[in-house]
Structure 1
Amino acid sequence: YILSNQITCALSSFMFWPHVVVNAFRFRCFQANSNLLFNSKCFIRPFSSLEMSFSSPSSSPQERISAVKSDFLDGVTIVDTKAKAKRVVDQLRSAELRHCFHACDTEVVNIDVKSEGPVGHGDIIAASIYCGPNVDFGNGPRIWINNLDESSGTFDCFKEYFEDPSIKKIFHNYSFDRHIIRNHNINVRGFAADTMHMARLWDSSRLKYSLESLSEDLLKVRKISIKERFGAQSRRKDGSLGKLIVFPKLDDLQRDESQREEWIYYCVYDAECTWNLQQELQRRLERIPWTEDSHMWNFYQNHYRDFGEVLVSMEHEGFHVRVEHLAKAEKIAHKEKASAENIFKTWAMSQCGDCKFMNVNSTAQIQQLLFGPIDESDVFKSKLNPTRTFLTLNTDEYIEPGKKKPLKNRPFIIQGLGMKPISKTQKGSPQCSQAVLRRLAGQPNATPPKYGDAYYFFGKGNDGKVACEAFESLCRVSLIDTLLGTFIRPLQAMPDEQGRIHCSLNLNTNTGRISSRCPNLQNQPAFDKDIYHIRDAFAAQDGNSLIVADYGQLELRVLAHMTNCQSMIEAFRAGGDFHSRTALSMYPEVAKAVANGEVLLESGSSKGKSSLPSIKERFGSQRQHAKVFNFSIAYGKTAHGFAKDFNVSLKEAQASLDRWYKDRHEVKSWQKHVIETTRETGTTRTLMGRYRPISIINDDNRYKRAQGERAAINTPIQGGAADIVMMAMIKIHQHERLQELGWKLILQVHDEVILEGPSEHSQEAKAIVLSCMTHPFGEKLLVDLTVDLKVASTWFQGK
């Protein structure tokens, strides 16, 4: 716990990354311009050990508070009036401070960070700025801006400062602060670094990227969390201490004179910690090679910083949602759910009369009906009796025998059918998951029908058919519940005054893929399950259109490029159905049928009209297996995994795997080389040279080692795909003509990007987007990148 912030990052211990030789076989990385290398010379000086004053982690909170009051506040310049703000802003914008980093942080109220994003939510009550230890703003180098009560509006005086593009501003979680500041009608410019993204680039394997965690590991002094500093144990009704840690509201905390000094200390240290982290992370990134003549700090400046700006812009734009479409879908969903429940309960009543009282959403009741009785055993730890009594609301005022009046709840009995359990829960009970119900149901509504296990249990014939249809209805109930609870109802409450939803996009995965939250717009139902066309609710506003652009087989193309696999490269250059070509090379019966002229490689591959079926039509199973092999091998799947997927013996799975590698031996050699190199260096790299540490690849546990090996060969592929999407998005975002036409990125989902803009310019914008996505780099890959683009009114129409 640091009690004096006179600290330099130079004293921190460095993580020494192994030098990784970039060669043409392992990594086809792209050279970067190195002329953007930044060299800060502002206010950095060495510190002697006497200037380092901090308490041990075991010191008491009272000791820390005392030290804060005596040491720290003397170094804080408090800005609580417009006059003080003007003076400090003039100094911040002076020539001597214009070329160094300015760390900024905000303290915010009126936002629930667990369920709300910062776009349109949250108000600043305080802010802090730190430019380094040797700057004096009147009472020291730390600026604390009071924006509460009588000082409200002080922060607005910093508008010119925050909107000055020549001042390099750094943040920890830039996205949050940028949107919060924009809520005060201030458009931040001059973004220079996000220490959260820098830390992710330095070590993508970390579990935590908070200021507390990073400061402890990199600066060797941990930022004290707000719970530790201001929290107190809750009190129970009897006055005893509870386990819950509670702390005051931030605005109340700022008003409390008894804690005001401590609160100011807490605020200003966030900015100072961010500044120190940037200095340290820059040093560490400069020690990690990117290309032969550049390092990862160059990578951050050239690409990751711009990508951070792209993500923030997309969050701000948001996606327009037609609430009326969702409201209509909700009404239909409730009706269809009631109908599906009725179908299942009618069937269940034919097996057990009391099932008319059952709750079809109750796992315990479905479990009892299907699988009771079950004796307790080594396999099933929970016993199910032949019958079980449940309670339900006594809506018909049933009077139990021996009672004089109806009770609130009435009992009913479910008698088990004795079906064989398919799988079990962790606690040893028969599972009633969607997968189990689907296996019992099969696909009774398909053409022709494919009946599940229930068909045979109930003696085939009409009884078996009706049972499968009942379980199909139960599956539908579960699906509708999911669509209602996860999508239809929540999305109706999220649009802002302009009818747009703003999610938070986070660069927080090991491979560099982005994720989404509050809400997770990347999590949309699969097309075969989107029975209410939820994507149709996401639409362009009046006068606008959407461009929905999706890469085709991106990860496979990255695999072909990075491994220089000639078979894959030739297949992609030939075009057509890649998976059918794979099936042709893997399965002799497919090759024979094509050679004899019995089937076509793909529909339309012959000259003129033909009545011959394609490989996809005649050998659908083999093509599907080939497709699974194509994608799964990129994820490092082994014969054990394929044996489980296809329900075949290990020997059969290995034979199929060997056939896949036979024409793609370069892939196997590349995978072997990457695994060996990762064992030596402890890291693997993506297409553009980003690192991912994988320490478990040398673990004594063979399961962890296998997991590390899969990650070692998967990260270059998945991460390479992420690199391509990132570079395409940066090009699209920065394209001047698209900006002139009014077209903007609004969402990215895996390999798909969505833009919105004026309909009158849609065709020109479409051509520009296609060019940006097919040529994201200065040089081409060994295979072309293909993109499927559509101009549409809604997301659903664009798919």
Structure 2
Amino acid sequence: MTEPPKIYLIDGSSYLYRAFYAIGRLTNVQGMPTQAVYGFLQMIRKIIGQERPTYLAVLFDAKGPTFRHELYQAYKANRPAMPDDLVVQIPYIKEISRCYGLPILEQEGVEADDLIATLARKAEKDGYEVVIVSGDKDLMQLISPKIRMWDTMKDQVFDLKAVQERFGTEPAKIVDIMGLSGDNSDNVPGVPGIGEKTAVKLIQTYGSLDKVLDPAVPVTPPKLKEKLLQYQDQARLSRTLVTLNDAVPLNISWEDIRLKPPDPKRLREIFQELGFKKFLEELGDAGNGEKASSLDYRGVTHWEELVAFVKGIQKAGRLSLDLETTSADPHQAEIVGVSLAYEEGRAVYVPVGHRYLGAPTQLPLDKVLALLKETVEDPAVEKIGQNLKYEWIILNRHGIHYQGPLFDTMIASYLLNPSRRTHNLNQIALDYLNRRLIAYKEVVGSGSKALNFSQVPLEQAVAYAAEDAEATLACRLRLGPLLEKEGLEDLFLRIEMPLVPVLARMEMHGVRLDAAVLADFSKEVEGRLKELEERIYTLAGERFNINSSQQLGAILFEKLKLPQGKKTKGRTRFSTDAEVLKELSLHHPVAAEVWNYRTLSKLKSTYLDALPKLILPRTGRLHTSFNQTVTATGRLSSSDPNLQNIPVRTEEGRRIRQAFIPEPGWTLVSADYSQIELRILAHYSEDETLVAAFLQGEDIHARTAAELFNCPQEAVTPDMRRQAKVINFGIIYGMSAYGLSKELGISTRQAQEMIDRYFLKYQGVRRYIEETLAEARRLGCVTTLFNRRRHIEDIKSANRAVRQFAERTAINTPIQGTAADLIKLAMIRIDERLRQERMGSRMILQVHDELVFEVPPGESDRLKGMIREIMEGVMTLKVPLLVQISEGDNWADLK
């Protein structure tokens, strides 16, 4: 016997709200929120994929009042207006539904629940089984032997048995229960003081709402009966409000809601616009607007063909170049092949180092590079790349030096959307070309079986490598006009592109490390760790694995009964992170010792033991990478290894910095912007007190302390100055009273009073903050003095904590971002002067506001003068920029 056909009715209005609030903030490349669309899409794909439905409809509430509003004017009056971030997503949700072939039903003056009720009862009568896709308990009154409810977000199915388990009664009595308990979400009043639990018990006991409200039926306790009689009209009204109308006039047949074939071409367009990479990949080539047949990718193994292609590059005046190599480390990578493109849709791959059985004869690397050298060094030819710095370093090692205009698609994508985490070529091509590129792992494999690119067969290598160069060029053609349109072209051409070779040279220089210093310190730390272990075991009363969070938690919370704080991310156990350990240190010394143990252990593994292993044998130096596309504020970051995170204020950090040394006979020079963010705050805010303090060369923290504590500067104590310093820098980061209280060890009330006094004295700063937040709410973004832009997506979030974080970000970004732009500009000018004057000094490190140089004998004074001139004069602000310069035999001595 065949099963009766099923009809799926999706509660669209309910799901779009649930998806919006259940999923963390998602945005596309333009910063438009997309989480509701994403969650809704997951739901319909799950239904279509798992259930293979024949009949399906999505039902939405239509705008305007319904009969319920006529019965009760306060119906749903408690609901806030739909968030703007959700409003903009609804058209996409409906369009995607149509593209999947899902009929959409909505009717003026009728709620989606009533449409669902009408269709469900009609289908039941016509012999169909019905699956209502929703999590709304209002719809449970419809459940019957042929009607079920499926909550896809919780993957729960509600049938007659489930209703009985939850309410202890049949579905038809749910409206009686809600007549008593009301429904807060729809502002249905019910009877005051009666919740769902009491309502269920009353209906179970007396059978119906009418019986409960019957004056002749005794209900205990008597006071409850009095309340029921007092609010009996309200209870009956509430029952009417929650009872679904299953007789809405509808002129549709079941064929009208038959699932139709999807429209993959339109889906691809929408997914590309929304940045849904996962769904685009699952679409595959269906609906792909870029047909493979329109792309001309060739492998070049004949000299004449390569010469002809290079002539085309020179004529076009642009070159997209991508290297395939043996390593992601540009200081060690060997070239396997070169990809070239100068027009969209066409590219070549020149293999020079493929080494596998049966590999074809390839052109010699030195001959290929000699031919390319003239073009790469031609200032009239624009050089295009994805992460250009990588190719810059490798070709520089081979004696080829980039000249002329540069365009890095990774950096262009980053400037357009700095909050995005990834700016790889595959993602950029999806965003701007609507194309899915071949992934690297599809060519070489992954894990232990991954091939070196030199082992990849040439046919596969051509398809992958030529595509990289051509797609990069195609992205450049899309991104260039967008940068101009968004007012970002000047920042791109004036700062970010000129910075690429500066950072490349810094990375190539590297830093010299005294491995013996770190080895000695590592042994010392190892001894201290063993002593700490024994102290921890003694305090805990037993031996255990200190590195196991689970075992540590058992000691702290079960054995020692210390206060339990926040839970881990999975909510499975209580956290033992650094913040928790610091709190627990107030209750038991073992927590402090564990914190010390972890800190030392991390120091040993991250720096003392790891850094010497990263010294490149060829150079004898450490080569970090400086990243332009990681932080949302525009600051540079450092990786492989991260040299910006070495502790500054601790003795251990100082000991590590002692290992960073210059060449024999040379010295290190440090140039550090003094209080640059506070000076930028003074410029932005034009606060009279702040500006005057900097113009007069005062100690700004002592000045603030004097203002806060209402005393002469001479009377300011070190502790008063310390507190003022915390507030000065805390204001930049939007620090709350709670945060300040934690930092200073005072009450929240005292902290708020201190913040209030600060703003009373620095009213210009208050005005700057208020105006910045107003602009962020109006435009959805903030900018630096150089027009670097950061979208502040959550500035209007209904979630208070999320909104406050967004507000702190809005306050800080223009200041921190401007500081980042200033030092980048200074780096460009210093590098240019060093090369113009043929000096031996080299810039080797940047740590936020600090630059470190390695200086040969006899150049120190000249370099210091040059640094001060450039860094202090890089831009004219309303207050002077000040640079502190120091010199020493190692990095620690520079502080």
Query: Structure 1 length normalisation: TM-score?
Result: 0.70
1:655 aligns with 2:655: no
Structure 2 contact 668–891 (Cα < 8 Å) conserved: yes
Superposed, 1:105-504 pairs within 5 Å as 105-109=322-326, 111=327, 113=328, 117-118=329-330, 120-133=331-344, 141-149=346-354, 150-151=361-362, 153-154=364-365, 155-157=368-370, 158-227=372-441, 229-230=442-443, 248-255=451-458, 260=459, 262-289=460-487, 296-345=488-537, 347-348=538-539, 352=541, 355=542, 357-372=543-558, 416-421=559-564, 425-426=568-569, 427=571, 429-438=573-582, 452-454=586-588, 468=589, 474-497=594-617, 498-504=619-625
8 Å CA contact 1:741, 1:757 repeated in 2 = no
Contact preservation (8 Å) 1:14, 1:284: no
Q: Is the 8 A contact 2:646 2:653 kept in 1?
A: no
**Within the alignment, does 1:719 sit opposite 2:834 as a pair?**
no
Query: Shift of residue 681 of structure 1?
Result: 1.9
Please list, as runs of the form range in 1=range in 2, the aligned pairs for 1:541-556 lying within 5 A after superposition: 541-556=663-678
Report how far residue 720 of structure 1 moved: 1.1
In structure 2, relative to structure 1, the CA distance for the partners of 1:574 and 1:640 (3 Å cut) is: same
User: What is the rounded CA distance, in whole Å, between the counterparts of 1:423 and 1:286 in structure 2?
Assistant: 47
Please give the per-residue CA displacement for 1:374-430, whole angstroms capped at 9, x wherever unaligned. Answer: xxxxxxxxxxxxxxxxxxxxxxxxxxxxxxxxxxxxxxxxxx344455665453645
Compared with structure 1, are the counterparts of its residues 309 and 440 closer, same or farther at alpha carbon in structure 2 (3 Å cutoff)? same
2:821 alignment partner AA: D
DSSP-derived class of the 1:102 partner: strand
Tell me, in whole angstroms, the C-alpha distance in 1 between the residues paired with 2:673 and 2:29.
39
Q: Which residue of 1 aligns with 2:299?
A: 78
Q: How big is the shift at 1:650?
A: 4.7
Give 1:156's aligned amino acid: L
Q: Larger C-alpha radius of gyration, 1 or 2?
A: 2
Deviation (angstroms), 1:723: 1.4
Distance 1:208-1:417 versus aligned 2 partners, 3 A rule: closer
Mapped pair 1:625 → 2:723: yes
TM-aligned CA deviation for residue 252 of structure 1 = 2.7
Contact 1:128 1:268 in 2 (8 A): yes
Distance 1:758 1:738, change over 3 A: farther
Q: State how far apart, in whole Å, the 2-side matches of 1:696 and 1:436 are.
A: 28
Relative distance call for 1:734 and 1:62 in structure 2 (3 A) is same
CA distance in 1, matches of 2:294, 2:377: 33
SS of the equivalent of 1:533 reads helix
What is the SS of the residue equivalent to 1:735?
helix
2:29–2:420 contact (8 Å) kept in structure 1: no
Is the alpha carbon distance of 1:532 and 1:202 closer, same or farther for their aligned partners in structure 2, counting shifts above 3 Å? closer
Report SS of the residue matched to 1:127. Answer: strand
| Fraction of identical pairs, as percent | 28
The equivalences for 1:519-558 within 5 A come to 519-530=641-652, 533-558=655-680
| CA 570–148 in structure 1, closer or farther in 2 if over 3 Å, else same | same
Structure 2: any 5+ residue segments left out of the alignment? Answer: 1-27, 33-264, 270-279, 355-360
Given the superposition, is the C-alpha separation of residues 80 and 690 from structure 1 closer, same or farther in structure 2, using an over 3 Å criterion? same
Question: 2:103 corresponds to which residue?
Answer: none
Distance 1:737 1:308, change over 3 A: closer
Report the CA distance shift for 1:61/1:147 in structure 2 as closer, same or farther (over 3 A). Answer: farther
Q: Is the 8 A contact 2:648 2:654 kept in 1?
A: no
Q: Is contact 1:142-1:268 (8 Å) kept?
A: yes
Shift of the alpha carbon at 1:179?
2.1
Counterparts of 2:486 and 2:294, CA distance in 1: 37
CA pair 336-369 structure 1, distance change in 2 beyond 3 A? same
What whole-Å deviation, never above 9, does each CA across 1:257-282 have from its counterpart, x for those lacking one?
xxx1x431221121111112112111
Letter in 1 for 2:439: S
Q: Which moved more, 1:498-507 or 1:176-185?
A: 176-185
Q: Which moved more, 1:328-337 or 1:152-161?
A: 152-161
- Mapped to 1, the partners of 2:395 and 2:285 lie a distance apart of 32
Name the aligned partner's letter for residue 782 of structure 1: K
Q: What CA distance in whole angstroms lies between the structure 2 residues aligned with 1:316 and 1:265? A: 31
Contact kept? 1:582, 1:626, Cα under 8 Å:
yes
Q: Aligned AA for 2:877?
A: L
Using CA pairs under 8 Å that are at least 6 residues apart, name the structure with larger relative contact order, 1 or 2.
1
Residue in 2 aligned with 1:102?
Answer: 319
> How far apart, CA to CA, are the structure 1 residues paired with 2:865 and 2:664?
22
Q: Specify the alignment match of 1:32 in structure 2.
A: none
Higher alpha-carbon deviation: 124-133 or 735-744: 735-744
- Residue 504 of structure 1 and its aligned partner are, at CA, apart by 1.1
Over 3 Å counting, the alpha-carbon distance change for 1:125 and 1:209 in structure 2 is same
The alpha-carbon distance between structure 1 residues 231 and 175, as it changes in their structure 2 partners (threshold 3 A), is closer
Tell me the equivalent position of 2:626: 505
Gap change, CA 1:222 and 1:677, over 3 Å in 2: same
> Structure 1's 276 and 570: CA in aligned 2 closer, same or farther, altered over 3 A?
same
Per-residue CA deviation, residues 730-784 of structure 1 (Å, 9 max, x unaligned), is 111111577422112111001011111212111111111111111112xx21111
Distance change (3 Å), C-alpha of 1:709 and 1:480: closer
Contact 2:29 2:431 in 1 (8 A): no
Secondary structure of residue in 2 paired with 1:500: coil
Displacement of 1:696 in angstroms is: 2.2
Matched, 1:772 2:870: yes
Deviation digits for residues 85-106 of structure 1 (CA, Å, limit 9, x no counterpart): 444445534xx33xx3211112
The 1:326–1:429 alpha-carbon spacing in structure 2 relative to 1, beyond 3 Å, is same
* Structure with greater helix share of residues: 2
What's the secondary structure of 1:330's corresponding residue? helix
3-state SS of 1:747 partner = strand
Q: Distance in 2 between matches of 1:736 and 1:487?
A: 31
Distance (whole Å) between structure 1 residues aligned to residue 340 and residue 837 of structure 2: 32
Q: Does 1:787 align with 2:888?
A: no
Deviation at 1:640, TM superposition (A): 4.5
Instruction: Identify which range, 361-370 or 706-715, moves more after superposition.
Output: 361-370
Could you tell me how far 1:691 is from its partner in structure 2? 1.5
2:717 maps to a residue whose letter is K
Q: Give the structure 2 partner of residue 49 of structure 1.
A: none
For the pair 1:560 / 2:682, whether they are aligned, the reply is: yes
Q: Indicate yes or no: 2:313 matched with 1:92.
A: yes
Amino acid at match of 1:322: D
Indicate the SS of the match to 1:628.
helix
State whether structure 2 residue 757 is matched by structure 1 residue 757: no
**Which residue identity is paired with 1:566?**
E
Contact 1:678 1:697 in 2 (8 A): yes
Provide structure 1 residue ranges, at least 5 long, that are not aligned to the other structure.
Answer: 1-12, 18-51, 134-139, 235-243, 290-295, 373-415, 442-451, 455-467, 595-600, 603-613
Distance 2:644 2:660 in 1: 12
8 Å contact from structure 2 (residues 562, 587) kept in 1: no
- 1:498-525 deviation per Cα after TM superposition (whole angstroms, max 9, x unaligned): 2211111111211100111111111102
